[in-house]
A and B are shown apart, each in its own frame.
Chain A
Amino acid sequence: MTKQEALGKYLLRLADTNLILGQRLAEWCGTGPFLEEDLAMTNISLDLFGTAEALLKYACEVEGKGRTADELTFRRPEREFTNILLVEQPNVDFGATILRQLFVDAFDYYHYSELSKSSDPIIAGVAAKASKETTYHLRHSESWVIRLGDGTEESHQRMQNALNELWRFTDEQFEMNEVDAMLIEERIAVDLAPIKAKWLEKVIPVLSEATLQIPENTFMQRGGREGKHSEHFGFLLAEMHYIPRAYPDATW
């Protein structure tokens, strides 16, 4: 693998995680629990799409085959997406959506802050912008997880159910392979081990304040890096790809 190929894979991986979570959050458009949260979730969705677009454009440039960000978004089959499994998990209810968001926001918060020092100026720039956005996203998801976890009997139970379901997808965020090894050496990518330590330091007290119990002996799920997805992903793509498949000549 050349450095250029590694960079291409790295950019796609980052972009896909943003893109797919953006798509999941967009599913709340018009169906949020109330107007303010409906807007909050679609706002966050748009932030994620913005980050994804910037990364996809750069990925196209690195790839050098003349593909566009739209083609990468709408013309790739399931196995070519390398997002983490966590972000493709269904919304279920507002509680599960906001817990999933806390896990990603806390990761993004520490990750982008490090990545903004990347030796690659485009990655550093995208990370610096996303870092500001994520600071707000984290504040939002953190306060909701505490409010709902330490809320009514029903809200607590829903949050606990969500945690039991989603905890097994959290470790994949910190997975590294030869792509990371190569790019860390070039100071383009960042080592995710220290990010994991910070993430745990952030997330565990929030869950504890929310009176939630982290499930024990969880078998951590993985596979996104190799394009192996959960059963939910195909349905998500089918919806996301519907318009460009039905109307191949459609433009923005």
Chain B
Amino acid sequence: MTLETPVVVEPQRPWKATPRELAPTGYLLLASAFASWAVVAATPMKGKLAYAFLFFVFGTASLSINKGRKLGRSAAVDSIAGSVAMTGAFLVFLPVASILFTTIQKGVKGLHWTLFSQTMFTASYSDPISKGGLLHALVGTLYLILISVIVSVPMGILTALYLTEIKGPGSNFIQFIVQAMSGVPSVVAGLFIFASIIVTTPVKASAIAGAFALSILMIPTVTRTAQEVLLLVPMDLREAGQALGATQWKTVATIVVPAARNGLITATILGVARIAGETAPLLFTIGGSDKLNWNPFKDYQGALPFYVWKGLLLGTPESIQRAWTGILVLLILVLVLFILARTLGGRKMKSK
């Protein structure tokens, strides 16, 4: 036996393309960009859209031909499919990024501290932006979300449990109703609460009436997402629970729901996302006050979407600035709520 010098083996990724191998792709894309510019310059096709379209066509074709020459026909088709999928993903990303960018760009100019300490009670929407604030709307939106969650999440999850676990009488009909409900135009939800509650009962326009209208939109979202999540829990676990002598309710409460926990939090988040920016259902139901109101059960209430709507409606530069800032605050609020829900919901699982 001879002593060998120990060979140090470096971890490698032979399946990754080296910069040298990536270079042709870069050249081809550059060439495509140049070709689109040349075509736009030489032909009547004009505009940004023409650039984008031609670049997509040239890029896809040249990359595909390049792949096809090296690896054959199936590789060429694979390359086309890859380019189309990537373009699709980019097209989805574009409006989202554009909305976020525009909101931040326009909204950030109106941000100042008194926004969160003052209301519009003593100020007018066309006053300089440093006067007045949106505290009343922030409080109103928080109340609306809170009450909607309290109403919709238990109802939505219980309905989902009935449909997936109990599968009792009327399941098909309820499923149909839930689907139909998720297609209800949001303004109809507001009108319904206005006609059925505000006109006929002592409950007048207030945060709770608005929350009821929002719940009509939120319940089907929560139900359908919760259903999907509960169906992902393997049947084995339900059988295991029942084989241990548990009643169905015990199995659902101790095994199925905890196993679906993260997904149920997602269902809640999607439900909140559905309602947080809704304006139409609030038009008839919250009164749209400019005054701070801590009582969610009585008197007119403000809300962030309502504040935005009022600002846009007035149309002066100051009021439109207020609207942009209102949207930015709403976006930040929803983001904060999502992060809170994720961390609070995920914490128990991680710490163990």
A interacts with B: no
Q: Interface residues, chain A, CB within 8 Å of chain B?
A: none
Q: Interface residues, chain B, CB within 8 Å of chain A?
A: none
